[in-house]
Amino acid sequence: MIKHLCVIGVGLIGGSLARVLREAGYVGKITGASRNPEHLQKALELGVIDHYDTDLSSAVAGADMVFVSVPLGAMGAVFTTIKDSLENNAVVTDAGSAKASVVEAVKAATGEIPAWFVPGHPIAGTEQSGVEASFPDLYKGRRVILTPARETGAAAIQKVRAMWEAAGAVVNEMNVDHHDEVLAATSHLPHMLAFALVESLARMSEQREIFEYAAGGFRDFTRIASSDPVMWRDVCVANRDALLAMLKIFRADLDDLAAAIEQRDEKKILNIFQDAKSARDAFSE
């Protein structure tokens, strides 16, 4: 059981973790922390946290588990601020979706990869943001990936694993580079495509009533374009190399499809669509 959890960044991800751990009776006290007192007051009013502090150094004092759920571009400042205020038994983990940048941020702040730091990434979320959007079942049956380094303590890994399992998640481990490659393909690229499509159509809609005729397929495909733009800007920068590699592959495949359409190559078009349907159906099952 976690005696004192400090959540830095009490939004959808951090708020949902706080909610489920409280509901499971797995946490004693929950402190919320961020630079925005209005957001923290809302979390307090909703019963997500017990109290809050806008001073991150004070917020982590006494906590045996610290969960950092801020945009990737803010990770370095957080670790620089809290590193000297952590309790001797404290374990720190995060929710960043690009792990190499977070590990580098920790190393820059502390001069090493501390035994108390367990890099993590819950593969869960919605297009909504903010503590108002948080709910306790967000992690039920969802995967959480831990990417511990050689220096990461075994006890720290086990404590973080146990926390996520108490939240209902399935926990896996992999190395940092593999994580960033996999997530570039399965998460980061789809978000880029959704943002790009909506932005492109928005410019077209200035002359035509494009969105008036948008059907369910458009809404389904572009739902994630309602996600936090700041967070996804940071993902682009943090996971640039892996994301660019995936964009290059996708661009080549899109060019192949365009060529098949231009050439009226019905067989190739059908093969592409059948292969895609088979892969999607297998994934859904």
State phi, psi for 194 to the nearest 5 degrees.
Answer: -65, -45
Closest by alpha carbon to 65, among 31, 105, 35?
31
CA distance 148 to 156: 10
Pair 190, 224: CB distance under 8 Å: yes
Closest by alpha carbon to 146, among 91, 192, 108?
91
Alpha helices in the chain (DSSP H): 12-23, 37-45, 56-60, 75-82, 99-110, 154-166, 176-183, 189-204, 216-222, 229-238, 240-262, 266-284
Low-confidence ranges of the chain (pLDDT < 50): none
Domain layout of the chain by residue ranges: 2-174, 178-284
CATH number of 178-284: 1.10.3660.10
Edge to edge, what strands does the sheet with 120-122 contain? Answer: 120-122, 143-146, 170-173
- DSSP string for 69-102: -S-GGGHHHHHHHHTTT--TT-EEEE--S-HHHH
Pair 97, 44: CB distance under 8 Å: no
CATH 3.40.50.720 fits 2-174, yes or no: yes
- Per-residue pLDDT, 17: 98
CA distance 282 to 285: 5
The 10 Å Cβ neighbour count of residue 274 is 10
Tokens standing for residue 122: 């819950």
Q: Is the pTM of this model over 0.85?
A: yes
CA distance 141 to 135: 14
- Per-residue pLDDT, 206: 67
Roughly what angle, to the nearest 10 degrees, separates helices 189-204 and 229-238?
Answer: 130
